[in-house]
């Protein structure tokens, strides 16, 4: 499992997409609206969303404040690289 801090500025919209790996997001601050299929979830500080691999989803930051969350995934591209 790889974890990463992630943030998006207010009003950011990520169009529908899928990942070939599972993903979890824990909201630390701010608010997001996540659409998964035909369902919509409003998430705020303390909320978590688990997405299985291959799940079509879209994310929108609600309001003008940034959202900050921790992402947990098996995507090794987010793993830290070697020190140089």
Q: Report the CATH number that the domain containing residue 34 is assigned in CATH.
A: 2.60.120.10
Residue 1: pLDDT band (50, 70, 90) is: low
Higher per-residue pLDDT: 78 or 26: 26
Question: Is the residue at 84 inside a domain?
Answer: no
Tally of structural domains, the chain: 1
Which domain covers residue 19, as residue numbers?
2-74
Query: How is residue 63 written in tokens?
Result: 């309001």
For residue 78, the model assigns a pLDDT of 59
pTM of the predicted model as reported, rounded to 2 decimal places: 0.80
Instruction: Quote the CA–CA distance of 78 and 61 in Å, as a whole number.
Output: 22
Question: Is the residue at 29 inside a domain?
Answer: yes
Question: Is the residue at 79 inside a domain?
Answer: no
Average pLDDT of the chain is: 88
- Burial of 77 from C-beta contacts in 10 A (0-12 / 13-18 / 19+): exposed
């Amino acid at each position: 499992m790889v974890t990463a801090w992630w943030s998006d500025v207010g009003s950011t919209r990520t169009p529908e997409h899928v990942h070939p790996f599972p993903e979890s997001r824990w909201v630390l601050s701010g608010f997001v609206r996540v659409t998964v299929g035909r369902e919509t979830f409003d998430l705020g500080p303390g909320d978590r969303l688990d997405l299985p691999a291959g799940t079509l989803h879209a994310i929108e930051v609600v309001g003008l404040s940034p959202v900050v969350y921790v992402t947990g995934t098996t995507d090794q591209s987010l793993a830290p690289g070697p020190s140089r």
